[in-house]
Copies of this chain bind each other. A is one copy, B any other.
Amino acid sequence: MKDLYSSRIKGMPSILERKDPIIHNSTAEDGPLQQKELDFYEKNGYLFKQNFFSKEEVKVLQQELKRNMNDNQSSDEPYVVRETGGDEIRSVFDVHNNDEFFHNLSSYERIVEIAQHLLGSQVYINQSRINFKPGFKGKGFYWHSDFETWHMEDGMPNMRAVSCSIILTDNYSYNGPLLLIPGSHRYFVQCVGETPENHFEQSLKMQNIGVPDHDSINWLLEKGGRIDSATGPAGSVLFFESNTMHGSNSNISPLPRSNVFFVFNSIENKLVEPFADVSARPEFVANRTNIKPIEPKHFNLNRRKVYLHQ
């Protein structure tokens, strides 16, 4: 397959024009997003929906996140990723496969229909995780485009995926919220350097390869004019385009930052061979086999018991 977005190059990196649509074959009439929301996403590469979940729903989600963390406390499964130099859980991956609650949540109608709207097709989950950024010592994450990694290391051919972050703790400007460069999704920043084998084991904790250079970030910032912070109350949901440049600072505040994270990929954008010269990464970060289109389900998150036994 032709590589539309070459990266991990030697020498000087270039900034390439995006070759894919941002919103795929959809209009506002297809719903559920309104025209102004589509326009915002098209222009900025993300959409932040404040208070998407009610307080009661957030409570259930927080309980389930905590329960999952506890379940995995002494797990040595590879999908449980811990902080460097510590024992604390940083992320639990693949929760749509290994946890009944989050499996069900991944087909929650109100979320899935937005992903379908943006991607203009049926969707499946390419990656899922819950993140727990502890207070006082949560580390930052340097600028990156998810698509660059997914393309090079997982073989995602086109920019036709959207990340959905369900925010489960209040995100303030000072507790390490996600930072995004508006408009950056319109450009592909080539990264320098070859990809080592098993890079993923490191890259889930700290990114070394697939890191954009300073000049390119400066260029994107000049173009975008500002950095936006995904701040808002627990229960807000952030959708961001696969190629939007984002990162976060550290968190010295006592307030942790937790979220549930689903990557929806278009059923027409299935993974192929990685474009970097590496073996395919494990299923729990790059789904190759379980790609049945999601059937959106309507259910009541407040009534946890009913929901879990339906």
Contacts and interface: CB of A to CB of B under 8 A. Distances in A.
Interface of A: 135-136, 140-143, 172-174, 176, 179, 214, 217-218, 221, 227, 229, 247-254
Given A176-B249, A249-B176, A221 B140 contact: no
A29 to B, nearest CB: 37
Given A143-B252, A218-B254, A221-B254, 19 more contacts: A135-B214, A136-B214, A140-B249, A140-B250, A140-B252, A141-B252, A142-B252, A174-B179, A174-B227, A174-B229, A174-B249, A176-B249, A179-B252, A179-B253, A221-B253, A227-B253, A248-B252, A249-B249, A249-B252
A251 B227 CA distance: 12
A249 B251 contact: yes
22 contacts: A135-B214, A136-B214, A136-B217, A140-B250, A140-B252, A141-B252, A172-B227, A173-B173, A173-B229, A174-B179, A174-B229, A174-B249, A176-B249, A217-B254, A218-B254, A221-B254, A227-B253, A247-B252, A249-B249, A249-B251, A249-B252, A250-B250
Contacts of A250: 140, 249-250
A227 B252 CA distance: 11
Nearest to A136: B214
Contacts of A247: 252
